[in-house]
Amino acid sequence: MNDAPAPSSPFLDRLDACLRVCVPQYPVELSGDWATSLRRADPRAAQSGSGLGRVADIVDVVWRGSLSAASPISGLAFVVVADGVYWSKSPEISPLLPVNVALHAYADRKPDLATFDASIAGSMLPGVPVPAADDLAQMCTLASGPLITGRVLQLARVNAAALYALLIPREMLKMGRKRLWRLRDNVAFGMPEDLRQLLTRRRAGFVPGDAR
């Protein structure tokens, strides 16, 4: 079970309040399934006479799914942790955006940590450490019910780390070079400078937890 407090971010609260009044809210569905696999921490351990001794197996528990809408969407993915927010724009604009949520840990849970990593349609976010449990999939709480565009929404949470998404309809975006989209100028005009820069210029970044 996931008993840790949900991570919060004043920065994401500001972003949500800013966009909810200017971006249309269309329904979006989230669906997917869990899969579990086992791999060697070091493939060389299988080689005879390697001298490496026993190398612990790693468990990969992955939820593969998608965000689907009636018309093309894109957006940003955020991983919120105690000290701030990692964010990344998706390079895709499509009615169907793939979503991956994964937990990786040693099979014997030594050390007693897992790595939580997630992505939305090619967004590049770092994996972050979280305390591990015996059942990795049970650690993760996924969003249920319909989602909407134009809001900052939590998709998945593990302990004190969480994946959020901001989904934006195609008509509000302009795709630039190297598949870097930006919010259209008439929509971004008048927004606070830090939010406007995020939505119209940069591809990825980190916002410290004390940023307001």
pLDDT beyond 60 at 203: yes
Residues 62, 52 contacting (CB under 8 angstroms): no
In a domain, 4, yes or no: no
Q: How far apart are CA 123 and CA 40, in angstroms?
A: 27
pLDDT beyond 90 at 56: no
In a domain, 127, yes or no: yes
At 210 the pLDDT is 62
**Phi, psi at 25, each rounded to 5°:** -105, 105
Q: How does strand 27-40 pair with strand 147-148? A: antiparallel
| Count of structural domains, the chain | 1
Cite the DSSP H helix spans in 34-127.
none
pTM: 0.88
Residues 141-153: pLDDT tens digits? 999 878 999 999 9
Q: Which range, 2-6, 132-136, 196-200, has the best average confidence (pLDDT)? A: 196-200
88 secondary structure, DSSP code? E
The whole domain housing 31 covers 10-208
Average pLDDT over residues 97-112: 91
In a domain, 66, yes or no: yes
In a domain, 151, yes or no: yes
In a domain, 2, yes or no: no
Q: Which residues contact 178 (CB under 8 A, 6 or more apart)?
A: none
* 121 phi-psi bin (left φ>0, alpha ψ -120 to 50, beta other): left
In a domain, 71, yes or no: yes
Average pLDDT, the chain: 88
Q: How far apart are CA 86 and CA 14, in angstroms?
A: 16
In a domain, 185, yes or no: yes
Average pLDDT over residues 188-198: 93
Instruction: With CA atoms as reference, report the closest residue to 68 among 97, 90, 91, 92.
Output: 97
Residues 107-142: pLDDT tens digits? 887 888 999 999 999 998 999 999 988 889 899 999
Cite the DSSP H helix spans in 117-210.
136-139, 185-188, 193-200
At 47 the pLDDT is 52
In a domain, 5, yes or no: no
Six-digit token pair at 202?
Answer: 């940069």
At 1 the pLDDT is 43
3-state secondary structure of 125: coil
Q: Which residues contact 119 (CB under 8 A, 6 or more apart)?
A: 77, 99, 100, 125
pLDDT beyond 60 at 58: yes
Q: How far apart are CA 126 and CA 198, in angstroms?
A: 18
